[in-house]
Amino acid sequence: MEDLIKALCIFAKYDPPKNPTLCEHGILIVFVDPKVVSIEDRARLDDLSFGIEVASDKYFVSYRFGSA
């Protein structure tokens, strides 16, 4: 749980939208544009199991924190 909280604190620095998350089967999506996130924060988010969604490059995803 601590890693999720750390990641959300990083996302909060980048002015997330009013409804910043979506959870689908096995995946948590965070609607923060990766282009505005610093390289250092992207690396830290990667360590916390959040990567940039490959197909669109418009948001972050985590398979670790998604619903099961």
Banded pLDDT at 68 (limits 50, 70, 90)? low
Grouping H, G, I as helix, E, B as strand and the rest as coil, residue 19 is coil
Domain locations in the chain as residue ranges: 2-62
Say what the pLDDT of residue 42 is: 98
- Residue 44 scores a pLDDT above 90: yes
What is d(CA 33, CA 52) in angstroms, rounded to the nearest whole number? 9
Tell me the whole-structure pTM to 2 decimals: 0.91
Say what the pLDDT of residue 66 is: 85
Looking at residue 17, the DSSP 8-state letter turns out to be -
